[in-house]
Structure 1
Amino acid sequence: MAPPLIVPVKSSGRGAARNALWLLWQDKSAFVSAILLALVLGAAIIGPWLLADQARAVNLMARNAAPFSLSKGWLFFLGADALGRSLLARIIVASQNTIVIAGSAVLLSMHVGGVLGLIAGYKEGWIGAILLRMADAIMSFPSMLLAVIVLFVFSPGIENVIFVLAVSRIPIFLRTVRAEVLEIKERMFVTAARAMGAKTERVLFRHIAPMVMPTVINLAALEVAFVMLVESGLSFLGIGIQPPEVTWGLMVADGRNYLGSAWWLSFWPGVAIMMVTIALNLLSNWLRLVTDPVERWRFQTVAGAK
């Protein structure tokens, strides 16, 4: 049986960005997910600048206005909350805090956990043992419970929420990176670098870290979705972001008392959370395939068959 036809990604006349877009187009679900995430990111950047006043404007005449009506303007297409504020405007404005909290927490935990994982995997010995015990101590508390305890002691706020969520996710990156390093450090190119007198810092950050990055990036995409859900849960419990700041989770919490009469108050921000979470998971799966040379041939084989 003849081997499958593999069409390599053409690099002539294309940059890395065009190659990535070409591979993204091969996975239609990931392509749609990337578009959705780009729209959400754009809304998070420019939404508060354009719609901040509309999101705060109180209109008691439109209190709990039903969705799918343009009689009060397009901003009220998704309905209004208990104070007559536009749900669409508030969802767009709330996207900034939601994305900033989730993204900042994951970036912080990724950098700290990644560096500690490199050290724990490369050094082993008592240094690696101490770092692993610290990770085990943090992981012994569920993320939500740890966040509840810390935020109950300290005042809830954006900085405290980001910090506690980042700390709770550090062990995930630490243990994942350590497992990768334990295997990579035995490869020939690492042995060669050591034999040539490369310092530990150079071996870690020049030779090993680039090999670990694909796994870390894939994990980060999943963790953003998880952290977003945890933050929504904290806001729902009333110990996350406090008014006048707003997040999707806080909007769900505000609407829970009106589920019987105005379901849309919690439904639409809940849909936003669900869609972004699903999109991140689908895009993470695509990143795993594309950054792994062993799996990338699947896209190329499909293209060759067409």
Structure 2
Amino acid sequence: MTAQPLSVRSPSTMSNSLAALWRDKLAALSAVILLVVLGCAVLGPTLLADEARAMNLQARNAAPFSGGGGWLFVLGADALGRSLLARIIVASQNTMVIAFSAVACALLIGGALGLIAGYKGGWVSAVLLRLADSIMSFPSMLLAVIVLFALDPGITNVILVLAVSRIPVFLRTIRAEVLEIKERLFVTAARAMGAHTDRVLLRHIAPMVLPTAINLATLEVAFVMLVEAGLSFLGIGIQSPEVTWGLMVADGRNYLGSAWWLAFWPGLAIMLVTISLNLLSNWLRILTDPVERWRLVSKGAV
């Protein structure tokens, strides 16, 4: 297979990036899976909300691929005779909203604090780092358990708790990047020309740390999904009548001996999305790093 140096060395355009993604089969498959899940999250509740709530006690714990009930029951039915496929599609919205919202909040707040801490230094950096250390002293799961045990475990509270627990990750990572970038010549030149601090941070430094922040955010979405699933499994996450993949796994654990598919299919959905996010994050990291981009060429991916 002939390499295409132009596409490799000029990945800034959308077409070249998409071409690079298409040639990396694992990353392309991951992107397709994520697009399908996002499509289900956007359209699923509108199209299949009634089917996900419809009960048919005659089809309780119906086995997958049994041929009864139509295509919606291809994955089987739960203990109330509801379509597992419809419920997984509908549950994808809450799962994605929680994961992406929590990471977006953590990225905005932690990123801003990381920029300030790295650029200002001194006591400002020390205070922010001690704040991050105090949050990180509690494991994410333990912190969420403590807070949600005292508060109503609704979607908003789950998002806030998970966002707070991930802020230190972005703060410390972006601070480390800024400490190195602020010593470069183009930043020194901007300051010498009288550029205000806000302009230096937003126009010169922030675009340089954005690839790292995006790659980290992709990984954090997978981590937050797993934490949310764990909270729902413990019974302190999202509560019925709302539904998430983690809650479906929790509901199916009592039937593992007689109806394993109740927990298997939503667990498989969680696994596929987290693996896809990790693979796509790795591809993005290589594509956005000029030093490591040659690895895509050596693999024949681009």
Bucket of the pairwise TM-score, normalised by the shorter protein: over 0.9
Q: By how many angstroms is 1:15 displaced? A: 8.3
Closer/same/farther in 2, CA of residues 43 and 79 from structure 1, 3 Å limit: same
Residues 137-169 of structure 1: per-residue CA shift (max 9 Å, x gap): 000000000000010111110000000000000
Q: Give the aligned residue type for 2:30.
A: S
Aligned ranges for residues 139-178 of structure 1 at < 5 Å? 139-178=136-175
Which residue does 2:256 correspond to in 1? 259
Q: Any idea what SS the aligned residue of 2:89 has?
A: helix
Tell me whether 1:7 sits opposite 2:5 in the alignment.
yes
Query: Unpaired runs of 5+ in structure 2?
Result: none
- Choose which of 205, 209, 229 in structure 1 pairs with 2:206: 209
> What's the % identity of the aligned pairs?
74
Mapped to 1, the partners of 2:223 and 2:65 lie a distance apart of 31
Deviation per CA, 1:256-275: give whole Å up to 9, x if none.
Answer: 11111111000000000000
**Equivalent of residue 181 in structure 1, options 178, 201, 205:** 178
Matches within 5 A, 1:233-244: 233-244=230-241
Task: Give the TM-score taking structure 2 as reference length.
Answer: 0.96
2:194 is matched with 197
State the match for 2:28 in structure 1.
31
Give 3-state SS (helix, strand or coil) of 2:112's partner: helix
Q: CA deviation at 1:69?
A: 1.9
Query: Is 1:72 the counterpart of 2:55 in the alignment?
Result: no
Query: Could you tell me how far apart the structure 1 residues matched to 2:195 and 2:26 are?
Result: 44
Cα offset, 1:303, TM superposition: 5.4
Please list the CA deviations of residues 198-245 of structure 1 after superposition, one character each: whole Å capped at 9, or x if unmatched.
011111111000000000000000000000000000001111111100
Q: Residues 183-211 of structure 1, C-alpha deviation per residue, up to 9 Å, x if partnerless?
A: 00000000000000001111111100000
- 1:228 matches 2:225: yes
Question: How far apart, in 1, do the equivalents of 2:178 and 2:12 lie?
Answer: 30
Distance of aligned partners of 1:239 and 1:302 in 2 relative to their CA distance in 1, 3 Å threshold: closer
Alpha-carbon offset, residue 8 of structure 1: 1.9
For the 8 Å contact 2:8–2:297, the answer to whether it is kept is: no
Given that residues 11 and 19 in structure 1 are in contact (C-alpha distance below 8 angstroms), is that contact kept between their aligned partners in structure 2?
A: no
Corresponding residue SS for 1:68: coil
Q: Distance in 1 between matches of 2:255 and 2:68?
A: 22
**Contact 1:136–1:171 (CA under 8 A) maintained in structure 2:** yes
Aligned-partner Cα distance in 2 for 1:113–1:246: 29
Q: What is the alpha-carbon distance in structure 2 between the residues aligned to residue 148 and residue 160 of structure 1?
A: 12
Residue 273 (structure 1) aligned with residue 273 (structure 2): no
Q: Distance in 2 between matches of 1:49 and 1:87?
A: 16
**Cα separation, 2, equivalents of 1:301 and 1:135:** 40
**Per-residue Cα deviation, 1:275-303 (whole angstroms, up to 9, x for no partner):** 00000000000000011111123334555
* Cα distance in 1, alignment partners of residues 86 and 208 from structure 2: 43
Letter in 2 for 1:184: I
Is 2:16 aligned against 1:19? yes
Q: Which amino acid aligns with 1:27?
A: D
User: In the TM superposition, what is the alpha-carbon distance from 1:174 to its structure 2 partner?
Assistant: 0.1
Equivalent pairs counted in the alignment come to 301
* 2:130 aligned to which of 120, 130, 133: 133
Does the 8 Å contact 1:6/1:301 carry over to 2?
no
Alpha-carbon distance, 1:89 to partner: 0.3
Deviates more, 1:292-301 or 1:164-173: 292-301
Residue by residue, what CA displacement relative to the aligned partner does 1:65-98 show, whole Å, maximum 9, x if unpaired? 0111222111111010000000000000000000
Shift of 1:17: 2.1
CA distance in structure 2 between the aligned counterparts of 1:104 and 1:226, rounded to whole angstroms: 13
1:98 aligns with 95
Q: 1:62 to 1:115 in 2, by over 3 A?
A: same
DSSP-derived class of the 1:65 partner: coil
Name the amino acid aligned to 2:5: V
User: Match for residue 283 of structure 2?
Assistant: 286
CA RMSD, 1 decimal: 1.9
| Cα drift, residue 16 of structure 1 | 2.4
User: Which residues in structure 2 correspond to 1:35-114 (within 5 Å)?
Assistant: 35-114=32-111
Structure 1: gaps of 5 or more residues: none
